[in-house]
Amino acid sequence: MLLAGKKALIMGVANKRSIAWGIAEAFRREGAELAFTYASERLRENVEELVKTLPDAERIPLLPCDVAQDAQVTELFRAVEERWGRLDVLVHSIAFAPREELTGAFRDTTRQGFQTALDVSAYSLVAVTRAAAPLFERAGGGSVMTLTYDAVERVVPSYNVMAIAKAALEAEVRYLAADLGPNNVRVNAISAGPIKTLAASAVKGISRLQKSVEDLAPLRRNVTQEEVGDVAVFLASPLSRCLTGATLYADCGFNVVGKGHEV
């Protein structure tokens, strides 16, 4: 078991389709001890029901954290410290933009929509990594991972302000990696191909995107939640110990294909 003895905090489960849930199941399979957060009271029950399906569910901490609230971030890591005393792995699988920002022309992005998207989807990685740093120190190091999407280098219709948030997020991964590397904390991103989740359903045209991946990706199929979970296991485990500041593409190779050119 690749993650035996590791304590992992999973942020970003909303329902069973969440990428974070795929990661949690893969971590569990590899022997990690898990804790979960939920973003709001409305989502608490969902996460609770899912956690109940895991072995030793009663021992799994389930903690509130709206990442837009500094006080909740502070309280989360205080609670993790009280419970575990240390942390080995932090999964940040969180993004949000107001729905109206994910349709129509990019130039119509509002200041408020921009601020919200960047705050929740990008700044939050800085906030939670900083708060987790003392707990990683007690563990002698750590692995942080976040989820991004390849709309950073290329224009994906309707992804709009979320692409800007992901560009910021990917740059943060490199800066945090440089900051925390001397403390043996690694920070990486997984750039996942399109998967039908709650967040993805807010982006117009996800089905068309999935069809393009099936037609054009070298592996001729879409990536699954389970496969992203396996990449996350690699990033959490010592197998990736020399890797930091990287963005790994879990997309069946779609990112290498020249757009407009069928292979």
Return the residue matching tokens 């190091």.
141
Residue 210 touches ligand NAD, criterion: CB under 6 A: no
User: What are the phi and psi torsion angles at 23 (to 5°)?
Assistant: -65, -45
| 227: Cα separation from own chain's centroid | 14
Of 23, 26, 51, 94, the one binding ligand NAD (CB under 6 A) is: 94
- CA gap 86, 93 in Å, rounded: 20
Task: Choose the binding region for ligand NAD from 51-59, 79-87, 134-142, 194-202 (rule: CB under 6 A).
Answer: 194-202
- Amino acid at residue number 165: A
- CA gap 149, 193 in Å, rounded: 7
Task: Name the minimum Å distance from CB 169 to ligand NAD.
Answer: 8
Residue 12 touches ligand NAD, criterion: CB under 6 A: yes
Of 197, 222, 244, 247, the one binding ligand NAD (CB under 6 A) is: 197
Residue 229 touches ligand NAD, criterion: CB under 6 A: no
Residues in binding contact with ligand NAD, number by CB under 6 A: 27
Q: Restricting to residues 16-55, which ones interact with ligand NAD according to CB under 6 A?
A: 18-20, 39, 43
Q: Classify burial at 259, counting beta carbons within 10 Å of its beta carbon; exposed 0-12, middle 13-18, buried 19 or more.
A: exposed
Of 136, 149, 159, 249, the one binding ligand NAD (CB under 6 A) is: 149
- Candidate list 123, 159, 175, 249, residue with the active-site label: 159
Of 54, 62, 68, 243, the one binding ligand NAD (CB under 6 A) is: 68
Q: Which residues contact 176 (CB under 8 A, 6 or more apart)?
A: 125, 126, 129, 144, 187
Task: Name the minimum Å distance from CB 233 to ligand NAD.
Answer: 16
C-beta of residue 97 within 8 angstroms of C-beta of residue 48: no
User: What are the phi and psi torsion angles at 213 (to 5°)?
Assistant: -65, -45
Nearest one of 20, 255, 15 to 147, comparing CA atoms: 20
Whether 175 is a known active-site residue: answer no
Residue 120 touches ligand NAD, criterion: CB under 6 A: yes
Residue numbers at the binding site for ligand NAD (CB under 6 A)? 12-14, 18-20, 39, 43, 65-68, 93-96, 120, 147-149, 192, 194-195, 197-200
